[in-house]
């Protein structure tokens, strides 16, 4: 479970926003209570989809001062780390299943002075990320198969959220446990109870309803989930 003081943060995923009105979506989500923004970079190799690159991250950077969480679903995150840092990314999240060496990726992020996260797909065991705990700022537990928004949350990843939270707390690190995929109020509650502190939410923020009201519902759920776990 998260320490009582650990801030719970909501990061709308721009993959679900209207790309033709992206600036407006960013401004509306920030006004509606977004703590950060999550940007999904896809290369058509690591995942079977394409999205966007550093130019779009830079365009978003110009519209908000909130932290930008850049999720690199690409085979060679190391090769592009400096480009995404220069574009204004605050956290570079790479996949342990990608081709780049994780130690080199962490070193590169430190050299650039940017925060770094290690992500695991739903089929990757927690043990893959354990060696990096204490050296990363975020552990991202994917709760859907990476590549597409709008999928249903996979509850079988919750034990990995608990394991990551326990391992992070044991090191005294302040790292976030992030959940990404299928986050709606009910699943956000369960993830918060398991120790997640950073909630990526795409369709539940941008597809249907009013962005501020959607974020308020998610906020109430994560707070209730986390506090229930602390009781």
Catalytic residue among 18, 35, 40, 43: 40
Q: What is the DSSP letter of 71?
A: E
DSSP bridge pairs for 118: 94, 139
CA proximity to 119, closest of 10, 166, 222, 106: 106
Length reported for the chain: 231
Q: How far is the CB of 170 from ligand DX5 (least distance, A)?
A: 27
146 binds ligand DX5 (CB under 6 A): yes
Q: How far is the CB of 13 from Zn ion (least distance, A)?
A: 6
Q: Give CA–CA dist 144/180, Å, rounded.
A: 7
Q: E strands along the chain, which residues?
A: 9-12, 37-42, 68-73, 91-95, 115-120, 138-142, 176-180, 198-201
Q: 69 an active-site residue?
A: no
Q: How far is the CB of 96 from ligand DX5 (least distance, A)?
A: 15
Of 64, 124, 173, 203, the one binding ligand DX5 (CB under 6 A) is 203
Site for ligand DX5 in 71-90 (CB under 6 A): 71
- Contacts with 215 (C-beta within 8 Å, 6 or more apart), sequence order: 10, 12, 29, 32, 33, 34, 205
Q: Tell me the per-residue interface mask from 19 to 58 with ligand DX5, x by CB under 6 A, - otherwise.
A: -------------------x-x------------------
Q: Give residues in contact with Zn ion (CB under 5 A).
A: 40, 71, 180
Q: 101 an active-site residue?
A: no
Active site residues: 40, 180
The residues that touch ligand DX5, with contacts defined as CB under 6 A, are: 13, 15-16, 38, 40, 71, 144, 146-151, 180-183, 200-204
């Amino acid at each position: 479970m998260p320490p009582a003081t650990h801030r719970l943060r909501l990061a709308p995923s721009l993959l679900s926003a209207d790309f033709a009105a992206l600036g407006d979506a960013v401004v509306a989500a920030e006004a509606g209570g977004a703590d950060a923004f999550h940007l999904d970079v896809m290369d058509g190799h690591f995942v079977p989809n394409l999205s966007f690159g550093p130019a779009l991250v830079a365009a978003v950077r110009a519209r908000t001062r909130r932290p930008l969480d850049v999720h690199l679903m690409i085979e060679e995150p190391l090769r592009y780390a400096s480009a995404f840092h220069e574009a204004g990314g605050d956290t570079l999240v790479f996949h342990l299943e990608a081709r780049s060496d994780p130690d080199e990726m962490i070193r590169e992020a430190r050299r650039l002075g940017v925060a770094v996260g290690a992500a695991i797909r739903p089929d990757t065991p927690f043990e893959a990320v354990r060696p990096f705990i204490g050296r990363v700022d975020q552990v991202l537990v994917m709760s859907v198969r990476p590549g597409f928004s709008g999928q249903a949350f996979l509850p079988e990843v919750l034990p990995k959220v608990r394991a990551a939270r326990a391992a992070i707390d044991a090191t005294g690190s302040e790292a976030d446990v992030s959940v990404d995929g299928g986050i709606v109020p009910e699943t956000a509650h369960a993830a918060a109870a398991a120790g997640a502190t950073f909630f990526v939410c795409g369709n539940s923020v941008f597809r249907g309803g009013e962005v501020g009201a959607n974020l308020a519902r998610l906020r109430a759920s994560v707070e209730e989930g986390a506090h229930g776990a602390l009781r």
